[in-house]
C-alpha cells in the first residue's frame, strides 16, 4: 500500500510550498495528504482503475503527480524543491510548535536539517539567539522533543481507550466544578482511531474549573493554558484539550469542536454564501446571533437537518442534509445480538458456558459461536467431528431456554485456491458461516479477489469476515478489488461483516458506505475471544453508523436475525 508514503510526500510538498509563500498550493497538497491518509483502499489500485480523480481534492495537476510517482518513483516538483530545502520535515513537524516557517528559519540560520541537528543546537544554546526565537522557545522545543520521544503511536484505536475516556468524563462530571461537560472531536464522531480528546465545558467559576482540571492526577503535563482553552497531556498517553464555553453558545461550540474540520469548512462556506458567519460562538448575520444554544439550531438556521456526529466527514452528508435525505442510521439499542464470537474450544479464553451467560446478561436475543476451522492451526481450529459435537451441544442448550438463541457458527478458512476448509454437509448444518482469509495472502489483487469470489459463489457462506484484513497500525488492507467482491456478494446473497475488534475495525466506514450502494446486508460482530470483549459489538455498530447504514441494512437489527442464516433475508 502506497497511501502512507504518498500522504507523507504531499505533506512534504505542502511544507515546502508554505516556505515558498505559496499558501494555496500548500493548502491543496495538505488536503490531499489528509484524504489519502483516510483511504482504506490502496491508491495504487485507484491508479490502475483510473479513479485517482475520485480522491477528495485531487485535480489534474495532483493526479499527474501521483501518476508520475507510481510510474517513476519520483515527483520532479518535489525533487526540485528538495534541492533547495534538504530538510527532514517529517520528523521535525512532529515536534509541537514547529511549523514550516520556523523550520525554515532554523534551517537558514543554523543549517538544521533533522531532529539530531535540532537537539544539538539546543544543547549548544544556539536556538535562543536566532531572531524570532528566544529562551522560552528553546525551552519549549526541548520539552516537546522529550515528549515526542517518550510517546508512542500518534493515533490509537478508539475501542482501546473509550472506557478510559468515559471514566475520565464521569470523574470530571461528578467533581461539581462544571455545569456541563461534553465529549467532542473525533471521539464523539466515533472515528476508529483517536489522536487526542476534545472536551467542552461550561462553569460558574471558569478559572477555578481550569485550575481543577490542570491539577488532576491524570494530567502529566500542561502544554497551554488560557482563559478559554487548556491543553494537557494525560498519563494515558493522549493529549486532551478542554475548552471553557459560555453556556449560551454551547451548541455552536459543540458543533464547532466536534468537527470534522472538512465538515466545518463546508458549513462555514455555506454560512458565508448566505451572508452569515459561523464560528464557535454562534451563527451570525452582522452582529445578530441567529443560533448558538443548540447544535440543532445551528444546522436548522443553515437550512440543514441535524447531522449525526458520526456522519460529519464531508462525505456527502451536507448535501443530504440540505435535501432532507439523511439516512436514519441504525441505533445502538436496535442491535439484538452478536454474529461473531469465539470460545476456548479454539483460541478464545472463555468457555462456551461463560460466553453464553455473558450474552444472556447483555439481553441478547441471539449469539453466534463462530470458532475457527481446522486449517487455522495456530488457533486450534476444529475439524468436522469436533464441530458436530459442538453443534449437538448448542442444539441441546437451545432446548433449555427461550431467552437467547445460540447460533451454530464457524469462522471458516477460505483456502488458497478459494475452496472451503470444511465439507458442505457440515456447513449446511450451520446457522452462520463466516468465510475468512487468514493465511497465504497474495500480493496480487487478482489472486485475492478470485479466491474470495470463488468462495462467495460456493453457496455455503453467509458472510465475509473482516473483509480488508487490515490491522490498525500493523498491517494494511489486503489488495482486493472490492467492487468485484461487493458485486459477487450482491449476486450470491452473501453479507459483509463489520468486525468491531479494536485493531480490526473492518470493514472500515468508507468501504461500508461504498458497499451500501450494492444490495448487500451487513452482519456486526465483536470477534470476542473472551466475555469482556463482547463490548466490541458496540464499536462495530459505531462503524455501521459511520457507514450510513440503516437498521434494514444490518441483520443484527432485524427480527430475522435469530434465525441465523444471513441469506434468508436478502
Partner DNA sequence: GCCGTTTTCGGCCCGACTGTTTTCAGTCG
Is residue 557 within the footprint of DNA (CB under 7 A)?
Answer: no
CA 136 – CA 484 distance, rounded (Å): 57
Cα gap 322→317, rounded to integer Å = 8
Which helix (H) or strand (E) segment holds residue 406: the answer is strand 405-413
- Piece of the chain touching DNA by CB under 7 A; list 113-121, 318-326, 382-390, 398-406: 318-326
Sheet holding 366-372, edge to edge: 337-338, 366-372, 405-413, 432-436, 463-464, 495-499, 522-525
Contacting DNA within 319-358 (CB under 7 A): 319, 322-323
**CA pair distance 359, 367, nearest whole angstrom:** 7
Least distance CB 517 / DNA (angstroms): 19
Contact segment (CB under 7 A) with DNA among 276-284, 396-404, 438-446, 470-478 equals 276-284
How many angstroms separate the CA atoms of 458 and 429, rounded? 15
Other beta carbons within 10 angstroms of residue 270's beta carbon come to 16
Residue 121 CB, shortest distance to DNA, in Å, is 14
Q: Is there binding between residue 316 and DNA (CB under 7 A)?
A: no
Residue 97 as a binder of DNA (CB under 7 A): the answer is yes
Query: Among 193, 264, 531, 533, which residue sits at the site for DNA (rule: CB under 7 A)?
Result: 264
Encode 213-234 in three state secondary structure. HHCCCCEEEEEEECCCEEEEEE
Least distance CB 133 / DNA (angstroms) = 5
- Minimum CB separation of residue 110 from DNA in Å reads 15
Dig out the grid coordinates for 43 from the structure.
Answer: 491508491
Q: Find where cell 475501542 sits.
A: 159
β-bridge mates for residue 156, sequence order: 194
Question: Per CB under 7 A, does 135 bind DNA?
Answer: yes
Closer residue to DNA (CB): 140 or 156:
140
Nearest distance, CB of residue 550 and DNA, angstroms:
22
Rule CB under 7 A: choose which of 108, 153, 208, 224 binds DNA: 224
Where do the DSSP E strands lie in 432-564? Answer: 432-436, 463-464, 495-499, 522-525
Contact pick of 8, 78, 102, 107 for DNA (by CB under 7 A): 102
Q: For residues 96 and 558, which CB has a smaller minimum distance to DNA in the complex?
A: 96
Q: Which of 2, 8, 20, 27 binds DNA (CB under 7 A)?
A: 27
Q: How far apart are CA 106 and CA 115, in angstroms?
A: 12
Query: Binding pattern to DNA, positions 152-181, x when CB under 7 A?
Result: ------------------------------
**Which of 7, 138, 336, 541 is in the footprint of DNA by CB under 7 A?**
138
Residue 134 binds DNA, judged by CB under 7 A: yes
> With contacts defined by CB under 7 A, how many residues of the chain interact with DNA?
64
Give every CB contact of residue 130 below 8 A, 6+ residues apart in sequence: 105, 106, 109, 110
* Residues 6 or more apart whose Cβ sits within 8 Å of residue 553: 330, 516, 520, 521, 522, 544
Q: Which is nearer to DNA, 140 or 498 (CB)?
A: 140
For the bound state, the minimum distance from the C-beta of residue 472 to DNA, rounded and expressed in Å, comes to 20
The span from the CA of 465 to the CA of 405, in Å, is 21
Which of 38, 43, 58, 452 binds DNA (CB under 7 A)? It is 58
What's 38's DSSP letter? T
Q: What's the closest the beta carbon of residue 86 comes to DNA, in angstroms?
A: 18
Among 83, 227, 333, 399, binds DNA (CB under 7 A): 227
CB-wise, 155 or 365, nearer to DNA?
Answer: 155
Annotate 37-48 with b (16+ C-beta within 10 A) or e (fewer): ebbbbbbebbbe
Tell me which stretch binds DNA (CB under 7 A): 39-47, 113-121, 264-272, 541-549: 264-272
Member of 108, 153, 208, 265 binding DNA (CB under 7 A) = 265
Q: How many CA atoms are closer than 13 Å to the CA of 495, on its beta-carbon side?
A: 27
Candidate list 50, 86, 132, 424; residue touching DNA; CB under 7 A: 132
DSSP code at position 401: -
Query: What gap in Å lies between CA 131 and CA 105, rounded to an integer?
Result: 9
Find the binding residues for DNA in span 472-491 (CB under 7 A).
Answer: none
Closest CA to 226 of 238, 236, 214: 214
Nearer to DNA, 199 or 453 (CB): 199
Q: Which residues bind DNA (CB under 7 A)?
A: 18, 24-25, 27-29, 32, 56-63, 77, 93, 95-103, 128, 131-138, 140, 185, 196, 198, 224-229, 231, 239, 241, 261, 264-265, 268-269, 271-273, 277-281, 319, 322-323
Amino acid at each position: 500500500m502506497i497511501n502512507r508514503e504518498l500522504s507523507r510526500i504531499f505533506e512534504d510538498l505542502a511544507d515546502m510550498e508554505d516556505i515558498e509563500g505559496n499558501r494555496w498550493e500548500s493548502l491543496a497538497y495538505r488536503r490531499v495528504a489528509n484524504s489519502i491518509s483516510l483511504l482504506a483502499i490502496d491508491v495504487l489500485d485507484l491508479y490502475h482503475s483510473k479513479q485517482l480523480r475520485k480522491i477528495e481534492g485531487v485535480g489534474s495537476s495532483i493526479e499527474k503527480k501521483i501518476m508520475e510517482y507510481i510510474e517513476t518513483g519520483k515527483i520532479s516538483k518535489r525533487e526540485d524543491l528538495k534541492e533547495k530545502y534538504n530538510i527532514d520535515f517529517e520528523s521535525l513537524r512532529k515536534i509541537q510548535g514547529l511549523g514550516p516557517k520556523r523550520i525554515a528559519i532554523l534551517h537558514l540560520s543554523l543549517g538544521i536539517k533533522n531532529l539530531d541537528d535540532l537537539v544539538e543546537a539546543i544543547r549548544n544554546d544556539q536556538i535562543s539567539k536566532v531572531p524570532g526565537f528566544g529562551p522560552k522557545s528553546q525551552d519549549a522545543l526541548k520539552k516537546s522533543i522529550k515528549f515526542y520521544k517518550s510517546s508512542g503511536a500518534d493515533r490509537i484505536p478508539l475501542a482501546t481507550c473509550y472506557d478510559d475516556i468515559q471514566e475520565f468524563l464521569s470523574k470530571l462530571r461528578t467533581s461539581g466544578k462544571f455545569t456541563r461537560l461534553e465529549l467532542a472531536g473525533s471521539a464523539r464522531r466515533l472515528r476508529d482511531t483517536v489522536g487526542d480528546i476534545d472536551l467542552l465545558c461550561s462553569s460558574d467559576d471558569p478559572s477555578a474549573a481550569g485550575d481543577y482540571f490542570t491539577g488532576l492526577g491524570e494530567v502529566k503535563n500542561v502544554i497551554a493554558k488560557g482563559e478559554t482553552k487548556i491543553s494537557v497531556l494525560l498519563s494515558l498517553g493522549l493529549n486532551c484539550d478542554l475548552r471553557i464555553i459560555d453556556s449560551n453558545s454551547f451548541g455552536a461550540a459543540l458543533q464547532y469542536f466536534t468537527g470534522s474540520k472538512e465538515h466545518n469548512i463546508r458549513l462555514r462556506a455555506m454560512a458565508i454564501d448566505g451572508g452569515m458567519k459561523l464560528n464557535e460562538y454562534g451563527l451570525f448575520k452582522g452582529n445578530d446571533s441567529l443560533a448558538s444554544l443548540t447544535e440543532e439550531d445551528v444546522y436548522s438556521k443553515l437550512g440543514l437537518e441535524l447531522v449525526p456526529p458520526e456522519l460529519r466527514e464531508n462525505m456527502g452528508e451536507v448535501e443530504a442534509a440540505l435535501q432532507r435525505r439523511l439516512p436514519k442510521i441504525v441505533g445502538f439499542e436496535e442491535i439484538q445480538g452478536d454474529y461473531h464470537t469465539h470460545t476456548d474450544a479454539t483460541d478464545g479464553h472463555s468457555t462456551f458456558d461463560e460466553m453464553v451467560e455473558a450474552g444472556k446478561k447483555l439481553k441478547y436475543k441471539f449469539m453466534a459461536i463462530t470458532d475457527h476451522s481446522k486449517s487455522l492451526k495456530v488457533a486450534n481450529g476444529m475439524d468436522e467431528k469436533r464441530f458436530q459435537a459442538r453443534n449437538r451441544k448448542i442444539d441441546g442448550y437451545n432446548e433449555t431456554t427461550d431467552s437467547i438463541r445460540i447460533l451454530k457458527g464457524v469462522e471458516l478458512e477460505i483456502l488458497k485456491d478459494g475452496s472451503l476448509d470444511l465439507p458442505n454437509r457440515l456447513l449446511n448444518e450451520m446457522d452462520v458461516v463466516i468465510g475468512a482469509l487468514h493465511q497465504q495472502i497474495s500480493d496480487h489483487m487478482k489472486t485475492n479477489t478470485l479466491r474470495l469470489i470463488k468462495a462467495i459463489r460456493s453457496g455455503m457462506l453467509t458472510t465475509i469476515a473482516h473483509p480488508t484484513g487490515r490491522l490498525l497500525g500493523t498491517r494494511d488492507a489486503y489488495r482486493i478489488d472490492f467492487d468485484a467482491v461487493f458485486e459477487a456478494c450482491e449476486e450470491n446473497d452473501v453479507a459483509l461483516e463489520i468486525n468491531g475488534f479494536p485493531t480490526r475495525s473492518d470493514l472500515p466506514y468508507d468501504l461500508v458506505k461504498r458497499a451500501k450502494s450494492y444490495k448487500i446486508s451487513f452482519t456486526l460482530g465483536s470477534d470476542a475471544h473472551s466475555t469482556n470483549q463482547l463490548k466490541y459489538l458496540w464499536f462495530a455498530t459505531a462503524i455501521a453508523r459511520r457507514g450510513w447504514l440503516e437498521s434494514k441494512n444490518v441483520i443484527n437489527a432485524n427480527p430475522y436475525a435469530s434465525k441465523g442464516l444471513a441469506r434468508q433475508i436478502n
